[in-house]
Amino acid sequence: MTEQRYSINEFIEETKQEDKEQGLFELETPRFLEVNVNGDVWAKAGSMVSYRGNIKFVREGILEHGIGKLFKKAFTGEGTSLMKASGCGKLYLADNGKKISILNLNNESIFVNGNNLLAFESELNWDIKLMKRVAGMLAGGLFNVKMGGVGMVAITTHYEPLTLLVSPNNPVFTDPNATVAWSGNLQPEFVTDISFKTFLGRGSGESIQMKFEGDGFVVVQPYEETYFTQPSSS
């Protein structure tokens, strides 16, 4: 393994921020997202690493997106909160060293696991979607966000993502803990297979799988997310 030793000037030259002039979202590194804020941008709460300029941060208000989304968030036990970055400047986001991918939607839609959503343009339409609950499936539950319209969304994965194509005669089965995103026209269902209980779903305690049928794609990561049950008040 080659040791990475630098003089101060060499280190600065190697790691300094560069303006790529690629628009609102830019990848500074595979794990740093630069957002050229000029207005409003939504981002995962707690993902801000640094910023420059005149940017104000506001945590998602209780009625920021309407009573419907508020009800869904409470019902699903969804734990990921959003923050709104407003103003003008450069904002740098990251999420536990995950790899970042920028998707440019052009009147398309995509579902994103809530834990893998990093940031999105305020112009995009979005909604929290309730999935069929399976008793004992995942501690803390599972939710996803449907993004649609014209604009950019940044998603995160542990290591490199893999996209699997779904065709009408070739369904795809995935581990819910490793499922990141899927095309907006697909409606997954949960299935169980007791014979695979000891082999699949490390964190679920059951052989729960997501089944995708139709014509589209599914994005998975080589890592199983861990979901925790929120402590109940007593």
pLDDT in tens, 43-65: 998 999 999 999 999 876 544 55
Residue 225 lies in a domain: no
Q: Please give the tally of structural domains in the chain.
A: 1
Query: Which residue is associated with the tokens 């907006």?
Result: 184
Q: Which of 36, 13, 47 has the alpha carbon at shortest distance from 156?
A: 47
Range of the domain at 128: 22-220
Burial class (CB in 10 A: 0-12, 13-18, 19+), 2: exposed
Q: How confident is the model at residue 203 (pLDDT cuts 50, 70, 90)?
A: very low
List of residues 6+ apart from 56 with CB closer than 8 A: 85, 86, 87
Whether the predicted pLDDT of 157 surpasses 60: yes
Say if 113 falls within a structural domain.
yes
pLDDT score recorded for residue 82: 81
Residue 230 lies in a domain: no
> Is 17 domain-assigned?
no
pLDDT digits (tens, 9 = 90+) for 142-153: 678 899 999 999
pTM comes to 0.82
Please classify residue 154 by burial: count the beta carbons closer than 10 Å to its beta carbon, then call 0-12 exposed, 13-18 middle and 19+ buried: buried
Q: Give the pLDDT band (50/70/90) at residue 1.
A: very low
Residue 75 counted as domain residue: yes
Cβ neighbours for 97, distance < 8 A, ≥ 6 positions apart: 31
